[in-house]
Amino acid sequence: MQSNRRTAIQGAAALTLAVTMPLAFGQKKITLGFSQIGAESEWRTANTESVKSAAKEAGIDLKFADAQQKQENQIKAIRSFIAQKVDVIAFSPVVETGFETVLKEAKAAKIPVILTDRAVSTKDDSLYVTFMGSDFLEEGRKAGRWLVEKMKDNKGEVNIVELQGTVGSAPAIDRKKGFEEVIKADPKFKILRSQTGDFTRAKGKEVMQAFLKSDAKKINVLYAHNDDMAIGAIQAIEEAGLKPAKDIIIISIDAVKGAFEAMMQGKLNVSVECSPLLGPQLMKAVKEVVAGKPVPKRIVTEEGIFPMEVAAKEFPKRKY
Residue 287 sits in the site that holds ligand AHR (CB under 6 A):
no
Shortest Å, Cβ 274 to ligand AHR: 5
Part in contact with ligand AHR (CB under 6 A); list of ranges 6-14, 17-25, 41-49, 81-89: 41-49
Torsion angles phi and psi, residue 79, rounded to 5: -60, -40
Residue 253 sits in the site that holds ligand AHR (CB under 6 A):
yes
Q: DSSP alpha helices (H): ranges in 84-124? A: 100-108
Nearer of residues 269 and 275 to ligand AHR, judged by Cβ: 275
Separation of alpha carbons 185 and 207, rounded Å? 27
Separation of alpha carbons 271 and 311, rounded Å? 10
Half-sphere exposure of 297 (CA within 13 A, CB side): 4
Pairing of strands 158-164, 61-66: unpaired
Shortest Å, Cβ 42 to ligand AHR: 7
* SS3 readout for 216-273: CCCCCEEEECCHHHHHHHHHHHHHCCCCECCCEEEEEEECCHHHHHHHHCCCCCEEEE
**From residue 155 to residue 184, what is the string marking binding to ligand AHR with x (rule CB under 6 A)?**
----------------x-------------
Separation of alpha carbons 145 and 279, rounded Å? 30
b (16+ CB within 10 A) / e for 298-320: ebebebebbebeebeebeeeeeb
Interface residue with ligand AHR among 40, 96, 162, 273 (CB under 6 A) is: 40
Cβ–Cβ contacts within 10 Å for residue 167, how many?
11
**From residue 47 to residue 86, what is the string marking binding to ligand AHR with x (rule CB under 6 A)?**
----------------------------------------
Cβ–Cβ contacts within 10 Å for residue 261, how many?
14
Separation of alpha carbons 5 and 295, rounded Å? 47
Residue type, 232: G
For ligand AHR, the binding residues in 196-225 under the rule CB under 6 A are 199
Residue 226 sits in the site that holds ligand AHR (CB under 6 A):
yes
* SS3 state at 252: strand
Shortest Å, Cβ 127 to ligand AHR: 20
Shortest Å, Cβ 12 to ligand AHR: 45
Part in contact with ligand AHR (CB under 6 A); list of ranges 38-46, 154-162, 279-287, 295-303: 38-46
Sign of the torsion formed by the C-alpha atoms of 73, 77, 82 and 87: negative
Residues pairing with 66 in the sheet: 36
Q: How many residues bind ligand AHR (CB under 6 A)?
A: 13
Residues pairing with 196 in the sheet: 164
Residue 306 sits in the site that holds ligand AHR (CB under 6 A):
no
Shortest Å, Cβ 41 to ligand AHR: 4
Interface residue with ligand AHR among 230, 274, 283, 308 (CB under 6 A) is: 274
Residue 260 sits in the site that holds ligand AHR (CB under 6 A):
no
Part in contact with ligand AHR (CB under 6 A); list of ranges 39-47, 149-157, 183-191, 239-247: 39-47
Residue 43 sits in the site that holds ligand AHR (CB under 6 A):
yes
Pairing of strands 305-307, 270-273: antiparallel
Interface residue with ligand AHR among 118, 176, 201, 203 (CB under 6 A) is: 118
Part in contact with ligand AHR (CB under 6 A); list of ranges 25-33, 37-45, 107-115, 301-309: 37-45
Where on the chain is the footprint of ligand AHR (CB under 6 A)? 40-41, 43-44, 117-118, 171, 199, 226, 228, 253-254, 274
